[in-house]
Amino acid sequence: MIDPEQIQEVRRALGRRLAHRRREHGLIQEDVARQVHSTRSTVANVENGRQMADRIFWLRCETLLNAGGELITGYDRYQRLELQRRAERDEAARRARWGELGRLTAGSPDLALGGPAGSATSGAGPAAAGPTVAGPAVGTPAGSGAGSGGPVLGAPPGLGGAVSGLPAGPAAEAGAGLVMAVTSLLAEVAQRSTGEGETLTVPAPRGQYLPRTSLDVEVYPAVEEGRNLATIPRPGAHRRWRRSLQRRLVVGHVDAPAHSGIFALDSRQACRRLVGVGEDSRLLIPRVYELDAITGAVLWAVANLDQSLLLDDARLDTSRIAAAQYARLTRSAVSGELAAELDTVSRLWLGSAFCADHIRRHCASLTELPVFWSREQRGEEASTWLFFGHKLRYLRTTADRFATAGQRMTRMFCVPPAAVRASSVSERILLLLAVALIESLGTQTAITDEPEYGTLPGVVLGGRRAIVANWLRADGVWHVDVTDHRPTLTDYRNALGDVRAHSVIAADKPGDRLRNLAEYLALDWRWLRARCAALGEYGLAGIAEPRSRLISLDGVDLACRFVGTQR
C-alpha cells in the first residue's frame, strides 16, 4: 500500500527543486508565473508542497529553467505514486461497500480481456462458482453459429472482429473490447436456459475510468411471433425485479432457424409490463432491445456510471458544497484532495460540472463567436456527454446563448489513430453518438488525427479572451482560468485554426460529417443509422433505466434520433 505521507514528501521535494532552479536563474515567483502562464500564488503553493500543478506547468518550467529533465521526471514519479494510491483506495472502498461482490468485480485477472473471455456465476449469490465460457463470434451474420454455436449478438459484418474466447486485433492488445465480452457471456448463458428463469451474475469489464461492476441476468426462453415474447413464471417475479438492489436484466432468448437473438429489458421496465397480468405470463420485449454493439455500449456505460454515483451520492454532495467556494475565482486548480474519498467516476462528474459552470459564468466576456476544444478521445470519455445530465444542459445553454442566423459554433476534438485502434467497436459507437449529440444542437464539429494536439487543455476561444476549463486527464479535479494573455491566445488560435483546416471529418452538412466520422472509426454507417432510428423511437430506458439522479438518457436518445434522420 502507498503511504500518503510518501506522496506528500515527493511533492514537497519536487517543490524544493523548482524553487532551487528558480533562484539559480535569478527569478522571483512572479517572473516564473508570468512566463509559464500561471499565477504567483500557484508557484508559491507548488514550491511549498501545498499544491501539485498539471503536466503543462511542469513542462513549461522545465524549458524556462533548463532543468535537464529533473522537474518533469520528478512530476512523472509523483503521478505514478498518486495513480497507484487512487487505485488502491478505490479497490478498498469497493470491497468495503460491496463485500464479496466487490471482490468479484474489482480485479480478477480471469475477467480481463487479455485472458479468458470471462466467467458467469450461476445461482442466487454472486460468489457461487460457475463455469468459464468463451464468447461466440461477433460480426458474423445473425443466425449463424460461431465458437461453441451460440447466437451472434446482432452486430453486422464489419462492426467487430472475431471473439473466440479472446478478442482479436490491436483492440485486444490495448485491453479494449469493453462491451463485447459482456454480450458474449450473455449469449452463452442464454443457451443454457432451462425455462425456469436462470439467474446469473455477469461481470462487466472495467475501463480506463469506469470500475468493474456486475449485472444480474434472468434468462427465459422466448419466441418470435412478429414480436418477441418471453414466458415468465409469474409468482414473485415482479417483486424480485422491482426491489433488486443490483441492476438486473430480464433476457429473452430466441433460438429459431429463421432468427436467433438475445433481447433484454431493464427489470423495472419488465416489472411495469407484468402488472395486472396472470400466471405464466408472456413478457413482450420489443425487438429494438436486441443486445448488440449499441445497446451493449449504453448498458455498460450506464451500469458503471450509475453504481459509482449512487455509492458516492452523499460524499459527492459534500464535495460539491466544498467546491462552491472556488466559483467566485476566475482561476483555480484544485488537487484530488478535495475529492479524496470519491470514486474516479464521481471525481470526473465533480470536475466536469465545475468546468461547465465556469464556462457558463464567463461566456459573456467573450467578444466573438467561440470555438470549443474538448479533450475526449475515446468513447468511455465521451460517454459523459451522453449520460451526465449537467452536460446536456450545458450544451443547450451555450447553443442558445450563441445562436446566430449565419454562423455556427464549432467544437473540436483530437482523436488520434492510436485511440481508435485501442477502442472497441462499442466505444467507437459511443464516441460517434457524442459527436452526433453536439451536432444535433447546432454546433458543428471538427476532429484532428494529429496526436500532438492531445496535450491542449480544454478551452473556449472567443476573440481576445479564452476560457480554460480542464477536468479530463487533469492532475487534479479541475484546472480553470480566464486569460487575455496574447501569446497564449495566439497559440490557441493557431492550433484550432489548423484543426479546422485539416479536420478528418470535414463536410458542409452534419450528416456528411457523421458519415465521415463513421468511416474514420471503421463503423458501418448504414447499419448505425438504421439501428439508431429504431432506438430513437423507443428510447433506451427500456434496457438501461438510470437509478442515479445525476444520470440521464435524454442525451443519448437525442443523439440516436439525430443519427437516424441523416442520409
Mean pLDDT score across all residues of the chain: 78
Q: Is the pLDDT of residue 417 over 70?
A: yes
Query: Rounded to an integer, what distance in angstroms lies between the CA atom of residue 458 and that of residue 60?
Result: 17
Mean pLDDT of 63-87: 87
- Which tens digits make up the pLDDT trace of 159-193? 443 322 223 333 333 223 334 544 555 555 555 54
pLDDT band at 139 (very low <50, low <70, confident <90, very high): very low
**Residue at grid coordinates 454480450:** 183
Mean pLDDT of 27-48: 88
Q: Is the pLDDT of residue 57 over 70?
A: yes
Q: Output the pLDDT for position 100.
A: 41
Query: Rounded to an integer, what distance in angstroms lies between the CA atom of residue 498 and that of residue 233?
Result: 62
Q: What are the start-end ranges of the E strands in 463-556? A: 465-470, 478-483
Query: Rounded to an integer, what distance in angstroms lies between the CA atom of residue 107 and that of residue 92?
Result: 12
Query: Rounded to an integer, what distance in angstroms lies between the CA atom of residue 271 and that of residue 289?
Result: 16
Cβ-contact 284, 227 below 8 angstroms? yes
pLDDT band at 197 (very low <50, low <70, confident <90, very high): low
Mean pLDDT of 114-121: 29
Q: Output the pLDDT for position 493.
A: 92
**What φ, ψ does residue 294 adopt, rounded to 5°?**
-80, -55
Q: Output the pLDDT for position 334.
A: 84
Which of 6-20, 136-150, 359-373 shows the lowest mean pLDDT across its residues?
A: 136-150
Higher pLDDT, 307 or 476: 307
Category of 226 on φ-ψ map: left (φ > 0), alpha (ψ -120 to 50) or beta: left
Looking at this protein, which amino acid is placed at residue 526?
R
- Which tens digits make up the pLDDT trace of 375-391? 999 999 999 999 999 99
In the chain, what are the domains?
4-83 (1.10.260.40), 175-291 (no CATH), 313-565 (no CATH)
- Which tens digits make up the pLDDT trace of 204-252? 778 888 887 888 888 887 887 766 666 665 545 555 665 566 788 888 8
Exposed/middle/buried for residue 79 (C-beta within 10 Å: 0-12, 13-18, 19+): middle
Query: Rounded to an integer, what distance in angstroms lies between the CA atom of residue 318 and that of residue 210?
Result: 22
Query: Rounded to an integer, what distance in angstroms lies between the CA atom of residue 47 and that of residue 35?
Result: 16
Q: Is the pLDDT of residue 315 over 90?
A: yes
Query: Rounded to an integer, what distance in angstroms lies between the CA atom of residue 185 and that of residue 152?
Result: 11
What dihedral angle (degrees, nearest 10) is formed by the CA atoms of 90, 468, 448, 205? Answer: 10
Which of 89-93, 139-143, 347-351, 511-515 shows the lowest mean pLDDT across its residues?
A: 139-143
Q: Output the pLDDT for position 183.
A: 52
Q: Is the pLDDT of residue 128 over 50?
A: no
Cβ-contact 226, 134 below 8 angstroms? no
pLDDT band at 86 (very low <50, low <70, confident <90, very high): confident
Exposed/middle/buried for residue 540 (C-beta within 10 Å: 0-12, 13-18, 19+): buried
Q: Output the pLDDT for position 280.
A: 62
Does this model's pTM top 0.85? My answer is no
Higher pLDDT, 468 or 473: 468
Q: Output the pLDDT for position 542.
A: 93
